[in-house]
Amino acid sequence: MPVLEIVGWAGSAVIVWSMMQQRILRLRVINLIGSSMQMVYNGILGIWPVFVLNVVLAAIQVVSIVRLLRTRHSEATYAVLPVDPDGAYLRHLLRLHDDDVHEFNPGFTGPAPGSEAYLVVRGEETVGYVLLHDAGDGVAQVDLDYVTERYRDFTPGEFVFRRSDVLRAAGYRTVRSAPGMRAPYYERIGFAPAGDRYELAL
């Protein structure tokens, strides 16, 4: 099979693969790669309608990726909403994401007595939520820090810990992560390792 034909088939396969991704950033990056391969293939063959289509698709992905990366730490894009830890909406989210929650937070057994809960929202979409409780001495002990799969390439929990004043306003001076969390991201947002956990001074 000629190299050019391989590029064409591979580009099509990559585009199909991109549409199977749940993570929004990964989807757009993979789709950009596939569209670029299709641009090369159709440009060399002179199939201009398909070439132009892929130019447009690639441009859309570039703009979307830039926008996602530019707003990933933006307080104007993400908001933190305190909610009732025993409320119906949070219970719905915990049921909806139960398998995923326990995959990344195997020690989580449900909201602790006296716990606090915060949703991280992007527009109308809930992209993550944090449950924590007062461990005494100004320490906010995280019980659950969950991110929906679409936004797992980002760090929405940082808006609870670093980019809003909700914890400082509540009198906390330190945030301590839950033990045993799988694939923790805390060092990327300023936490320091502390045994089997991570801590952040507010």
- Residue 36 shares a structural domain with residue 89: no
Check residue 25 and give its pLDDT.
96
Same domain for 145 and 170: yes
Based on the domain organization, do 117 and 183 belong to the same domain? Answer: yes
Residue 1, pLDDT > 70, answer no
Banded pLDDT at 183 (limits 50, 70, 90): confident
Q: Are residues 105 and 57 in the same domain?
A: no
Rounded CA-CA distance 57/53 in Å is: 6
42 confidence band (pLDDT: 50, 70, 90): very high
Composition of the chain by helix, strand, coil, percent to 5: 45, 20, 35
99 shares a domain with 24: no
Mark whether 95 and 142 lie in a shared domain: yes
Do 84 and 37 fall within a single domain? no
Confidence of residue 28 (pLDDT cuts 50, 70, 90): very high
Percent of the chain with pLDDT over 90: 80
Q: Are residues 64 and 91 part of one domain? A: no
What is the Rg, in whole angstroms, of the alpha carbon atoms belonging to the chain? 21
Is there a single domain that holds both residue 111 and residue 191? yes
What is the model's pLDDT at position 101?
93
The pTM for the full model equals 0.86
Tell which of 20, 44, 70 closes a domain.
70
> In the predicted model, is pLDDT for residue 145 greater than 80?
yes
Task: Tell whether the model's pLDDT for residue 140 goes beyond 90.
Answer: yes
Domain boundary among 23, 43, 70: 70
Residue 119 CA to residue 58 CA, distance in Å, equals 33
> If we measure between CA atoms, which residue out of 147, 133, 195, 140 comes closest to residue 172?
140
Q: What pLDDT score does 165 carry? A: 84
The domain boundary residue, chosen from 70, 87, 118? 70
- Judged against a pLDDT cut of 80, whether residue 163 lies above it is answered with no
What domain range is 27 assigned to? 3-70
Across the range 82-92, mean pLDDT stands at: 95
In this prediction, residue 182 carries a pLDDT of 82
Please, which pLDDT band fits residue 196 given cuts at 50, 70 and 90? confident
| Number of structural domains the chain divides into | 2
The span from the CA of 94 to the CA of 121, in Å, is 16
User: In CATH, what number is assigned to the domain containing residue 124?
Assistant: 3.40.630.30
Q: Which residue in 48, 28, 29 sits closest to 38, CA to CA? A: 48
Task: Note the pLDDT of residue 162.
Answer: 79
| Same domain assignment for residues 101 and 180 | yes
Together in a domain, 122 and 66: no
Same domain, 89 and 181: yes
* Nearest residue to 29 (alpha-carbon basis) of 70, 68, 78, 74: 68
Least confident segment among 63-72, 140-149, 156-165: 156-165
